[in-house]
Amino acid sequence: MILFRRVVIFTMNSVCFQRNFAAALSPLVPVKLPSRMEAHLWYVVPDEVKSSFLLSNYLDILSPCEKENVSRMRGEQLQKAALLARVLVRTTIARYQINGQVNPRSLKFKKNIHGKPELEWDDDQCQCASRLQFNISHTSSLILCGVTVDSPIGVDLEEKQRKLKNNILAFARRYFTPHEVKFLSSISDPVVQHQHFVKLWTLKESYVKALGRGFSGLPFRMFTIQFRTTENGDSCPSGETNNEGEIIVKSLEDVNSFSSNWQFALLELAGSHYAAICMEKDEAVEGEVPTPMKLTVRKTIPYVRDELISGPDAAVISGLT
Amino acid sequence: MASVSAASVAFRALSKPPLKSNETSRLKIVSLGWRKNGFPSLRSSRLHVSCAAKPETVDKVCEIVRKQLALPAEADLTPESKFSAIGADSLDTVEIVMALEEEFGISVEEESSQNITTVQEAADLIEKLVQKKPEA
């Protein structure tokens, strides 16, 4: 409620702010489109965005409908996160400068039949525009946007320390597959078991989001996520945080089929979150090795600073062999 | 299930064009359920078809939601509260559904979870499923 009142006041003064906007803030740095099988990940840490001047300018980027949605959130922190999520999506896509300069305000969005947000372009905009795909996820402390060209993408974020109110195995028995329950049950260390639960949850979410179907469109017990180590091919729990090998998904609707056209990556982001990325695999040309997934991670405060991230702040756990 | 909301309140403040600096603000913030004393008139003006949930069911759902989201005691929670607006993410919603299943002895299809976006919707679905249960 407090932010909302402040936000109203800033809207009144935004006419003055607009003039100083370009002078006080840096322009968005344009970026080349990701290549095939590459995903660009952009993230914002809400706690690092403190300036009310900046937040009021961010609000101006949103559509009236988005502003209304932000205002419906209960409480300052939730409003701020909702605002930053929309700002991250709009400014990120604008950086790719489809058809020349793109104003983040001018982007239009629609939803698919399951409610997945997508970009909407005018008929006269060129074909390449419609190939840009994105997906976002956020927790109270981090907001992530993934961008690809051509490939549907799903991203999911969860705090590593996220606690369940329910017992993990009881929850898994209710919502996950028997294989996944068996996998979690076999982990004796409760800390490691909890970590693997969160990893499984984010991977499953990223899959249904990549498919554009969401949790209700594809119940989690209809498909299994497995970690396959390169040596023996069987899934096994590992307490290590270094590369656990390949992540695969198997549909339970058709036990003989592999959903082999989807590729996953699991990262530890900013030391505090697990981030799961799911995208469609490159169609392998006969005889050629398919292109492996590549990730480029950037931390941003739009109009202020962008930072390419590598090392411990974007540590790959699995999937990019 | 048809329900008519007699009061349709929008946060119009943000969708108006920015005011010039010499205009005073005539923007009035009207909120649903934000104030501590609540809006009993708004609640009673919402028309329901007779199969809507009993108040006890609604109260129980509120209790479960409060617990799941660790809402502070002063936080307002009304039947119309949208889970997403009070900070529930997909994992919270799934845990809430699980708690409701245990509390009421029902089974909720995942496909229905997209229809549970408010306390009222959860309570209505619970009543429907409870009524469908075979006699003990």
Angle, nearest 10°, between helix axes A76-95 and A2-24? 30
B76 vs A contacts (CB less than 8 Å):
74
Bigger pLDDT: A223 or A13? A223
Contact B111 A219 (CB under 8 A): yes
What is the CATH code for A14-282+290-314? 3.90.470.20
Q: What is the pLDDT of residues A30-85, one digit of tens each?
A: 999 999 889 999 999 999 999 999 999 999 999 999 999 999 999 999 999 999 99
Q: Residue A201 has what pLDDT?
A: 97
Suggest the residue from A7, A16, A71 to mutate for an interface test with chain B (most B CBs closer than 10 A): A71
Q: What is the pLDDT of residues A96-124, one digit of tens each?
A: 987 776 799 989 899 888 888 988 887 66
Q: Residue A228 has what pLDDT?
A: 83
Contact B14 A140 (CB under 8 A): no
Query: Is the pLDDT assigned to residue A12 strictly greater than 50?
Result: no
pLDDT category of residue A202 using cuts at 50, 70 and 90: very high
Which A positions 82-141 lie with beta carbon below 8 A of chain B?
A: 115, 139-140
Q: What percent of chain A has pLDDT over 90?
A: 57
Contact B87 A162 (CB under 8 A): no
Contact A162 B111 (CB under 8 A): no
B15 vs A contacts (CB less than 8 Å):
64, 67-68
Q: What is the pLDDT of residues A237-268, one digit of tens each?
A: 443 444 557 898 988 876 555 567 899 999 99
Q: Which residue, among A205, A199, A202, has the nearest Cα to A187 in the 3D structure?
A: A199
Q: Residue A318 has what pLDDT?
A: 81
Q: Residue A273 has what pLDDT?
A: 97
Query: Is the pLDDT assigned to residue A281 strictly greater than 70?
Result: yes
Q: What percent of chain A has pLDDT over 70?
A: 80
How far from A100 is each of A80, B16, B68, B81, CA to CA, in Å? 30, 30, 47, 42
Q: Residue A122 has what pLDDT?
A: 75
Suggest the residue from B93, B101, B110 to mutate for an interface test with chain A (most A CBs closer than 10 A): B110
d(CA A169, CA A243): 25
A160 touches chain B (CB under 8 A): no
Task: Give catalytic status of residue B92 as yes or no.
Answer: no
The pTM of the full predicted model, rounded to 2 decimals, is 0.80
Q: Is A303 left (phi over 0), alpha (psi -120 to 50) or beta?
A: left
Among A15, A64, A217, select the one facing B21 at the smallest CB separation: A15
SS3 (DSSP) at B66 = helix
Which residue is closest to B18 within chain A, CA to CA?
A12
Q: Collect all residues with Cβ–Cβ distance below 8 Å to A315 and sequence separation of at least 6.
A: A241, A267, A268
The ipTM is: 0.82
Query: What DSSP designation does A75 have?
Result: S
Rg of chain A over CA atoms, in angstroms?
20
Q: Residue B39 has what pLDDT?
A: 41
What does the domain layout of chain A look like in residue ranges?
14-282+290-314
Contact B112 A216 (CB under 8 A): yes
Contact A15 B18 (CB under 8 A): yes
A214 touches chain B (CB under 8 A): yes
B117 touches chain A (CB under 8 A): no
d(CA A102, CA A93): 8
Q: Residue B52 has what pLDDT?
A: 74
Q: Residue B43 has what pLDDT?
A: 44
Query: What DSSP designation does A244 have?
Result: -
Q: Residue A88 has what pLDDT?
A: 98
Concatenating the DSSP letter of every residue in A5-56 gives HHHHHHHHHHHHHHHHHHHHSPPPPP-PPPPTTEEEEEEE-GGG---HHHHH
DSSP H stretches of helix in B1-136: 40-44, 55-69, 90-104, 119-132
Q: Residue A101 has what pLDDT?
A: 64
B95 vs A contacts (CB less than 8 Å):
164-166, 171
Suggest the residue from A3, A5, A11, A213 to mutate for an interface test with chain B (most B CBs closer than 10 A): A11
Nearest CA distance, A279 vs chain B (angstrom) = 20
Query: Is the pLDDT assigned to residue A11 strictly greater than 90?
Result: no
Q: Residue B29 has what pLDDT?
A: 40
pLDDT category of residue A285 using cuts at 50, 70 and 90: low
Q: Collect all residues with Cβ–Cβ distance below 8 Å to A163 and sequence separation of at least 6.
A: none
B76 touches chain A (CB under 8 A): yes
**Residue in B76, B89, B92, B124 annotated catalytic:** B89
Rg of chain B over CA atoms, in angstroms?
18
pLDDT along chain B (136 residues), means of 10: 40 44 43 41 46 86 93 87 91 93 91 85 92 70
Q: What is the pLDDT of residues A295-313, one digit of tens each?
A: 999 999 999 999 999 888 8
For the CA atoms of B33, B35, B37, B38, the dihedral, rounded to the nearest 10 degrees, stands at -10
Bigger pLDDT: A130 or A20? A130
